[in-house]
Every structure is written in C-alpha cells, then in structure tokens.
C-alpha cells in the first residue's frame, strides 16, 4: 500500500486517470454510534478546486452522518487496481456548489436526472491510498 498527499499539480497521472475512469465507488461515513455506513456512490475528483465531489439527496443517511462526523473514505476497485480517498467532507446546498458537483459527476459518469433535493458533498482530500497494481514500478 502506498499513499499520496495532494499537491494536486503533482498527482501521478495513473492515479488521476484511475479517478477519472468510470468506476462505481463506496463511500464510508460514520453513524452517530461509530459504526461505519458504506454505500455505493459516484465520486468525481476536481483537481482545479482540490477536492472530490459526491452528489446525493438531502436527508440521506450519509448526509445525516456527516452532521456528526466529517471524516470519510471513498474507495474504488478495478481488478487488482484500487484506490481510496481519505478526507473531511462538508455538505453544500448552494446552487453553485451543486452545479459544480453535477458537472464533475457528468464528466465522469453521465448527466444525472434532475433532483430538487440534490446536495453536494465536498471532500477535502487528506490523501490517496492505493495498491501496488495502480502505479508502474
């Protein structure tokens, strides 16, 4: 296992490529009692703003979990390649942040359907963790 702490301008290209390929991710948040809550999500990195984004609906379990503990992990796997983003999340419901998150999501996956209760989770990335199959030796 290796880790990389952003400097987004020096993000290794294979790591950046992996986080822009179309892969479903798992987001882990912590429930109020400390148990992990793991759900599938789409996650899009945003090197320009130095963060990652998840879109969801207001009031979801993951949103409620963030109100008590901002620590999150987002992991994706493709065969022997895997990477996890560890960081702190903040919830955003302002139109500009939600639009940015949707834009980044659409660039990686597809344009999402309209959702009047949509909010954006912004993850300030503390580090990327990844396995040996991701970067060439």
Residue 17: which H helix or E strand, with range? helix 13-18
pLDDT in tens, 48-69: 999 999 999 999 999 999 999 9
Whole-number percent of the chain with pLDDT over 70? 98
Q: What is the mean pLDDT of the chain?
A: 94
Whole-number percent of the chain with pLDDT over 90? 84
Closest Cα to residue 103, out of 118, 90, 88, 124? 118
Closest Cα to residue 98, out of 83, 85, 114, 77? 114
pLDDT classification of 133: cutoffs 50, 70, 90 = confident
Instruction: Say what the alpha-carbon torsion angle 111, 64, 16, 113 is, to the nearest 10 degrees.
Output: 0
Pairing, β 2-4 against β 118-130: antiparallel
- Region 10-28 average pLDDT: 94
Q: Which residue has the tokens 């834009």?
A: 103
CA separation, residue 34 to residues 1, 52, 60, 71 (Å): 25, 23, 17, 11
Q: Which residue has the tokens 């419901």?
A: 93
Non-local (6+) Cβ contacts of 101 within 8 A are: 44, 53, 54, 55, 92, 120, 121, 122
DSSP β-bridge partners for residue 1: none
CATH of domain 2-130: 2.30.110.10
For residues 43 and 91, the answer to whether their CB atoms sit within 8 Å is no
For the chain, give every domain's residue range: 2-130
Q: What is the per-residue pLDDT for 7?
A: 82
Closest Cα to residue 27, out of 77, 74, 61? 74
Q: Is the pLDDT of residue 134 over 90?
A: no
């Amino acid at each position: 296992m290796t880790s990389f702490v952003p400097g987004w301008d020096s993000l290794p290209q294979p790591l950046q490529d992996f986080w822009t390929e179309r892969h479903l991710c798992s987001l882990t948040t912590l429930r109020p009692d400390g148990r992990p809550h793991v759900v599938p999500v789409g996650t899009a990195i945003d090197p320009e703003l130095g963060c990652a984004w998840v879109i969801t609906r207001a009031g979801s379990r993951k949103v409620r979990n963030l109100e008590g503990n901002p620590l999150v992990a987002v992991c994706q796997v493709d065969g022997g390649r895997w990477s996890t983003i560890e960081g702190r999340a903040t919830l955003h419901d302002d139109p500009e942040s939600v639009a940015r998150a949707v834009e980044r999501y659409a660039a990686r996956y597809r344009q999402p359907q309209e959702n009047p209760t949509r909010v954006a989770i912004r993850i300030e990335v503390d580090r990327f963790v990844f396995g040996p199959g991701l970067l060439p030796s």
